[in-house]
Amino acid sequence: MKDLTANLAYESHSLTPGGHRLAPLEQLGLALCGVGFMVLLAGYFTASDVSSGVRAIWLGLAWGGVVSGTLLYGLHKHLSENAGVRNHGKTTESLTARGALGWILAVLLTAFYVVLYWFPEMFGGITRLHDPLSQALRGRPADHWFLYGTAYTVGTTIMGAKALAKYRHSRYQVVRTLVIMASQLVMAYLLPGFLASINQPEAYLTYFWPLAYENLFPGSIQGLMNRGAFGTFVVAWSFISIFVATPILTYFYGKRWYCSWVCGCGGLANTVGDSFRQISDKSLRAWQVERYTVYGVLVFIVLVTGLLWLEPYMPAYMHEPLYMLRKTYGFLIGMVLAGVVGVGAYPLMGTRVWCRFFCPMAAVLGIIQRFFSRFRITTNGGQCISCGNCSKYCEMGIDVRSYAQRGENIVRASCVGCGVCATVCPRGVLSLENGPTEDRLKGYTAPTQPVITKSVKRVAMR
Amino acid sequence: MSTRSIVILGNGITGITAARNIRKRSDDDRITVVSGETDHHFSRTALMYIFMGDMTYADTKPYEDGFWPKNRIELKRGWVDAIDTTATRLTFSNGDSLPYDELIIATGSQPNRLGWPGQDLQGVQGLYSLQDLESMEKLCPTTKRAVIAGGGLIGVEVAEMLLTRGIAVTFLVREKSFWGSVLPEGESKLVGREILRHGIDLSLQSEIQEILPDAAGRARAVKTKAGDEIPCEMVFLTAGVSPNIAVARAAGVECDRGVLVDEFFRTATPHVWAGGDCAQHRTVPAGRRPVEQVWYTGKLHGEHIAANICGESLPYQPGIWFNSAKFFDIEYQTYGTVLPKPRDGEQSFYWEHPDGDKSIRVNFRGDTGELVGVNVFGIRHRHLVWEHWIAAGTTVTEAMSDLGAANFDPEFFRQYEPEIVAAFNAAHPQSAATLRTRKGLFTRVFQRLFKSASPRGAVAVSAMTP
């Protein structure tokens, strides 16, 4: 008889449903992270006469604590388990199931964005604390946007590392997470900083109009045209990115090449927000609402951009209302919906509230994906057992199961192609594929004589 | 057609599929679905995910609650005590009664209880219904070790569930290797390793003698046939399921192991139909079993019952067998027939990755080379492709050459077709295959430029070492 005490290690775990008892290293990690944040907050009291060296050390301690603590906690949590899908406790734990911790985090995130947009002086010395870093990177003192960009990038990077550990069994998720981390770090942080340091336009080349709505405003274009060759390049890229690159890439790969591989909003959602993806509303009603709001915002920004170009031909009394319209868009869409609601609601409405309900870039990509693209999520014959993991973990609130259980491929405008439905499926039913468009919508009908379509063969034999 | 009252007994996948498909065909029929288990249809397959906190019960409902009134499908909650097939009427345990014009019995299955002493003690259960899950929730907080008896798919699910609550698991399996009655040796050992890797105490060739009670009438230990006594607070009986037919049998509906049905799912009793786990085919379709208790057959049965009850004549032809499962972190798919030992005249090719967590077995006829079936572990394969290959009598050489077309793994995943085909060629040189791969644009341009001599779209791998 085997020694039955061999398994006693398991008995040291918590017995509460889904409860994850923290290992000592994880406790240490969270403590370090907390200390780091407190050091950062204490920076509020930094006086302007504190020397640059002191600030650098202080900042290093603050972010060092946050980064090392989060990595210690996140990596240990996932690497201490066998590789595989581990979503246990997501529906029972306070933070991820809209409990008290979730609400507290939502309030904190919302407050952060309110301060950032409307009361940035409230950051006080915390912004000053970032001066040495900003000087080193951009050759100028920090402002609250630099503080935000730093926090955003640190968050994407360290939580990206956690996501890498969590999804290490899926090479699709590993490659995708690495790319989206690099996209934020290089294209949306280091490169703009470097450009600023050499006195060039601080260009964010991975944000396209209509997401970066000012890119195609006549005022921004004129401003850039006066900034030399690089400014001209940025203007050219503003047009090429949305009118050439976007349709071509979306035709070949679907919306995902942008939303899940390049975009910073998607990057934040899939790293910092990964634990909240299951909260998205899957109801038919949410889908109905989403279609009005997301295309409504697209119409709004097209209108604003178009009118701004027509402004020179308008009578003078139109200038003030147009200015107000533009301000309204910036306030309502650019700040309230993209920031305050978009990120503040992570723990309450899921991670892609902005992307799903409001982002005009997602709307454009969605139209192309739905009607002119080779991308689809293929359903593998009749293997679906309707368990619902795919729908539950879809951050866009798509009821993936409703297609999969009918053997239909999934072709939806909103799908950002994160691939998590295919990752969590316990039966290998779903796969993200690009292939010929003719039989993209076709499904599987059992048990009539099946044929291997041209599409299947060409897709599969990579 | 005049308005009929169609009553469906059971809101599982068979009953619900029948209800939906009857409504698609008929606006007039009154459809009532009866269940004692839950108000609404949910996915039994997801029970484990509710327990582990991956999903809530609400998440397992494939249709929103508003779907049923919208489609005029009435849901009645209650346990049926008796069916009166002459008066065509159901009687419920609370005294209610419900008349029917057509009755569909879709009562599913129940965990096997093989007559062990103590099998009805508190803390002894199977995992099939939501009620089973509720009882697990109640007893797990006072459970340190559980014994799972019977090595099959449900047993593995229960083990995985218990581990998430920190409960130690002893797995008693009668066979020499895990699920050895279904899996060939290689796969069976692969699964066994996976079970051990997760810290389960896997005890092969071991059976329950009896379950011992404590003073309060709860299980306190399992005594095995070898005489060992394993202290535990819960015992899970997972040695398969059998058709849940007590009510049908009592009503005089002809039964064997299950309710006997013809190829149109009619029972011997007029106006009574049966399908899903509880049904047994009088004429067994080629390559299938008389009772098949899997999700998709339940769905197929429901579709067929709906068609036939609405006056179409749709005989059951389920086609090529397939199934899938997940053993902890290893996915499993099977298409066609793969028995633990190849049948006479069959040959079997088995490849296993050195890591021991991925494998493929292809069985084929020794004389013609025609495919018989395939088992895949740790690699996703394409249902459509294998179904077509097996149905069309494709040869193993042809299938090996096109193996890439069957791969369904996500992008960027390592593909093992070259290794698999090389190993196949080494083992079966008389049937050697040349793996076809799709050329990328650069290769094609390169070949065009330098007029490469190799045939279009083909690359030889037979030279590779296995």
Q: What pLDDT, in 10s, does the model give residues A301-343?
A: 999 999 999 999 999 999 999 999 999 999 999 999 998 999 9
Q: Which residue of A has its CA nearest to B65?
A: A283
The pLDDT of residue B166: 94
Q: Kindly identify which residue of chain A lies nearest to residue B380, measuring between CA atoms.
A: A428
What value does the CA radius of gyration of chain A take, rounded to a whole number of Å? 24
Whether residue A262 has pLDDT greater than 80: yes
Chain B nearest-CA residue for A275: B54
- The average pLDDT across A82-91 equals 95
Over its C-alpha atoms, chain B yields an Rg (Å, rounded) of 25
Check residue B241 and report its DSSP letter.
E
| B422 domain-assigned | yes
Token readout for A256 is 């995902």
Closest partner residue to B319 among A172, A392, A446, by Cβ? A446
Distances (CA, A) of B18 to A443, B180, B422: 20, 35, 47
Which runs of E-coded beta strand occur in A123-196? Answer: none
Amino acid at A452: I
Q: Are residues B186 and B277 in the same domain?
A: no
CATH number at residue B388: 3.30.390.30
- Identify whether residues B328 and B446 lie together within a single domain: yes
What are the tens digits of pLDDT across the range B445-464? 776 776 544 433 333 333 33
**Average confidence (pLDDT) over B22-28:** 96
pLDDT mean over B92-111: 97
Q: Is residue A290 part of a domain?
A: no
Q: Which tokens go with B301? A: 């049965």
Are B225 and B253 members of one domain?
Answer: no
B263 and B230 co-located in one domain = no
Given a cut of 80, whether residue B215 has pLDDT beyond it is: yes
Number of domains within chain B: 3
Judgement on whether residues B432 and B362 belong to the same structural domain of the protein: yes
**Does residue A100 lie within any of the structural domains?**
no
Q: What is the mean pLDDT of chain A?
A: 92
Q: Outline where B112-235 has alpha helix (H).
A: 130-139, 153-163, 185-197
Mean of pLDDT values over B290-294? 96
pLDDT tens digits, one per residue of A177-216: 999 999 999 999 999 999 999 999 999 999 999 999 999 9
> A381 lies in a domain?
yes
Among B256, B287, B309, identify where a domain stops: B309
Instruction: Tell me the average pLDDT across A224-243.
Output: 96
Residue A332 has which token pair? 């309502």
Report how many domains make up chain A: 2
- The residue among A21, A288, A387, A391 with the most chain B CBs within 10 A of its CB, best to mutate, is A387
pLDDT at A234: 97
Is A17 a residue whose pLDDT tops 90? no
Is the residue at A300 inside a domain? no
Residue B115 lies in a domain: no
pLDDT (average), residues A379-383 = 93
Domain membership of residue B360 (yes or no) is yes
Query: A407: which 2 tokens?
Result: 């053997």
**Residue B463 domain flag:** no
pLDDT of residue B447: 67
Q: Are residues B233 and B133 in the same domain?
A: yes
Between CA B350 and CA B360 the distance in angstroms is: 6
Q: Mean pLDDT in chain B?
A: 93
Query: Domain ends where: A145, A162, A197?
Result: A197
Mean pLDDT in residue range A268-297: 97
Domain boundary among A163, A197, A231: A197
Residue B283 confidence (pLDDT) above 50: yes
- Rounded Cα distance between A21 and A347, Å, is 21
Q: State whether residue B347 is helix, strand or coil.
A: strand
A143 in a domain, yes or no? yes
Question: Please, which pLDDT band fits residue B444 given cuts at 50, 70 and 90?
Answer: low
Domain range enclosing B267: 5-110+242-309
Which of B283, B309, B335 is at the close of a domain?
Answer: B309
Q: Pick the residue from chain B with its C-alpha nearest to A174.
A: B412
> What is the torsional sign of CA B449, B450, B455, B460?
negative
| ipTM exceeding the 0.90 mark | yes
Query: Nearest to residue B349, comparing CAs of B184, B102, B207?
Result: B184
Question: Domain of A140?
Answer: 18-81+124-197
**A169–B405 C-beta distance less than 8 A:** no
**Cβ–Cβ below 8 Å for A11 and B168:** yes
Measured CA to CA, the distance from residue A258 to residue A272 in angstroms comes to 18
Q: What's the mean pLDDT in A73-95?
A: 95
Residues B439 and B329 occupy one common structural domain: yes
Least confident of A48-52, A175-179, B301-305: A48-52
The three-point CA angle B27-B33-B39 to 5° equals 125
The greatest distance separating any two alpha carbons of chain B, rounded to the nearest whole angstrom, comes to: 85
By Cβ distance, the residue of A93, A432, A447 closest to B317 is: A447
| Tally of residues, chain A | 462
Residue bearing the bigger pLDDT, A439 or B129: B129
Shortest CB distance from A427 goes to which of B51, B324, B409?
A: B324
Strands (E) located in A283-437: 375-379, 430-434
Say which of A8, A383, A392 has its CB closest to residue B383.
A383
B454 CB neighbour count, 10 Å cutoff: 9
A11 — pLDDT class (breaks 50, 70, 90): very low
**With an 8 Å Cβ cutoff, are A462 and B415 in contact?**
yes
Report residue B152's pLDDT band, with 50, 70 and 90 as the boundaries. confident
| pLDDT reported for residue B463 | 31
pLDDT digits (tens, 9 = 90+) for A427-438: 999 999 998 887
Q: Is residue B418 part of a domain?
A: yes
CATH number for the domain including B196?
3.50.50.60
Decide if A361 is inside a domain: no
pLDDT band at A456 (very low <50, low <70, confident <90, very high): low
pLDDT value for B184: 98
The average pLDDT across B440-448 equals: 67
**Same domain assignment for residues B269 and B361:** no
Residue ending a domain, among A173, A197, A221, is: A197
Residues in chain B within 8 Å Cβ distance of A377: none
- Sign (positive/negative) of CA torsion A411, A416, A417, A421? negative
Give CA–CA dist B435/B412, Å, rounded: 19
Q: What is the mean predicted confidence (pLDDT) over B428-453?
A: 75
Partners of B235 in beta bridges:
B124, B147
Q: Is residue B368 part of a domain?
A: yes
Last residue of a domain, one of B222, B239, B256: B239
Question: Binning pLDDT at 50, 70 and 90, where does residue A50 land?
Answer: confident
Q: Does residue B22 belong to any structural domain of this protein?
A: yes
